[in-house]
């Protein structure tokens, strides 16, 4: 029951407070510390790959240790206090409400026919060039963001929290969830294939891939059941995820994006422009219907169901 309290409490806090954009949010602190540590580490460690690994592990382990210690310290006061501290740590590691808010921010101007505003809102959740997108391009971008970030922003953190709890109780759940969030943040900070980070960012990028590997595939199970409950194409979600799983540079992203495409009966992917350069991504999904605004609402509902079902599956797995 302890893990159930932690996960439920984390989702409750996320639903009430969301993901506040403040400078002292732990995720912002992780990114800030990483950037400040980068320069002295580069000066000390000449090999760029090793420097990136040392910088990333140092930051990740500092915050992981802080989460573990926080729960242990509060646990000396009372069991409830320790659980409350673990709830906070898992809460800052998930971002379901933020995902839904960003999707709604794109959906609303689309319904009003304001494509310029919809493009600006889309630019907040994707890295592609949004100024050239038509309505279908905006919808496609939004759906791909939901399909990818349900893993990055929700299910992977819950998976590691559950595994951490199994190994080390409330403190283990907090530490594992924060370690995952730190690794994900470090990938977003350093994991670029440009001259500055091509070698330095290799370790955090691969670490993020490794930590997402199992959760991405287990999330498909949750998407299947979520699609079944909401009357979407559950079988197509599984079929498309398996068929199209390798049609993206990331080893994990297409599991969520292709599953959402199959569940909604739409086609995603295809040519995408980044900083003026086109990348010829393959298509994934099944084109039963043209992309329309209603698909965003269906994707939001599916994301919530998938998050709840995944959490239930994790609870069942560790308790049994």
DSSP three-state, residue 16: helix
pLDDT tens per residue, range 30-60: 999 999 999 999 999 999 999 999 999 999 9
Mean pLDDT (the chain) is 95
The residue behind tokens 């919530």 is: 304
Is 90 exceeded by the pLDDT of residue 22? no
Is 90 exceeded by the pLDDT of residue 314? yes
Separation CA 209–CA 244 (nearest Å)? 17
Separation CA 298–CA 143 (nearest Å)? 10
What pLDDT shows up at residue 192? 87
Separation CA 157–CA 82 (nearest Å)? 19
Torsion of CA 277, 280, 281, 283, to 10 degrees: 130
What pLDDT shows up at residue 221? 98
pLDDT tens per residue, range 183-232: 999 999 998 888 899 999 999 999 999 999 999 999 999 999 999 999 99
What's the pLDDT band for 20 if we cut at 50, 70, 90?
Answer: confident
C-beta of residue 208 within 8 angstroms of C-beta of residue 187: yes
C-beta of residue 164 within 8 angstroms of C-beta of residue 176: yes
For the segment 1-26, the average pLDDT, to the nearest whole number, is: 89
For the segment 244-250, the average pLDDT, to the nearest whole number, is: 92
Percentage of the chain surpassing pLDDT 70? 99
What pLDDT shows up at residue 49? 96
Is 70 exceeded by the pLDDT of residue 271? yes
The token duo for 138 is 């905006």
Separation CA 224–CA 142 (nearest Å)? 20
Is 90 exceeded by the pLDDT of residue 320? no
What's the pLDDT band for 23 if we cut at 50, 70, 90?
Answer: low
Separation CA 110–CA 138 (nearest Å)? 9
What DSSP string describes 17-61?
H-----TTSHHHHHHHHHHHHHHHHHHH--SHHHHHHHHHHHHHH
What's the pLDDT band for 19 if we cut at 50, 70, 90?
Answer: confident
pTM (predicted TM-score): 0.96
Separation CA 87–CA 215 (nearest Å)? 20
What pLDDT shows up at residue 1? 81
């Amino acid at each position: 029951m302890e893990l159930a309290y932690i996960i439920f409490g984390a989702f409750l806090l996320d639903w009430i407070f969301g993901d506040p954009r403040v400078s002292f949010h732990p995720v912002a602190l992780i990114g800030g510390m990483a950037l400040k540590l980068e320069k002295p580490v580069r000066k000390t460690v000449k090999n760029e790959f090793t420097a990136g690994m040392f910088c990333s592990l140092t930051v990740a382990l500092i915050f992981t240790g802080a989460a573990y210690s926080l729960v242990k310290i509060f646990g000396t006061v009372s069991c409830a206090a320790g659980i409350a501290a673990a709830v906070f740590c898992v809460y800052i590691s998930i971002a379901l409400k933020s995902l839904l808010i960003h999707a709604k921010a794109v959906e609303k101007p689309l319904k009003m026919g304001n494509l310029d505003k919809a493009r600006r809102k889309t630019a907040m959740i994707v890295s592609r060039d949004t100024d050239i997108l038509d309505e279908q391009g905006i919808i496609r971008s939004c759906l791909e963001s939901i399909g990818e970030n349900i893993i990055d922003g929700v299910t992977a953190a819950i998976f590691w929290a559950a595994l951490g709890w199994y190994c080390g109780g409330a403190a283990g759940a907090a530490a594992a969830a924060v370690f995952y969030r730190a690794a994900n943040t470090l990938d977003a900070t350093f994991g670029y294939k440009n001259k500055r980070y091509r070698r330095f960012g290799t370790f955090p990028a691969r670490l993020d891939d490794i930590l997402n590997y199992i959760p991405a595939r287990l999330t498909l199970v949750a998407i299947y059941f979520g699609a079944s409950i909401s009357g979407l194409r559950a079988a197509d979600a599984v079929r498309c995820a398996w068929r199209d799983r390798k049609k993206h540079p990331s080893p994990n992203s297409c599991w969520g994006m292709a599953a959402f495409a199959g569940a909604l009966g739409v086609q995603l992917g295809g040519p995408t422009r980044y900083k003026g350069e086109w990348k010829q991504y393959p298509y994934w999904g099944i084109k039963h219907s043209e992309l329309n605004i209603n698909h965003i609402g269906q994707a939001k509902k599916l994301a919530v169901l998938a998050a709840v079902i995944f959490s239930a599956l994790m609870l069942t797995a560790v308790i049994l």
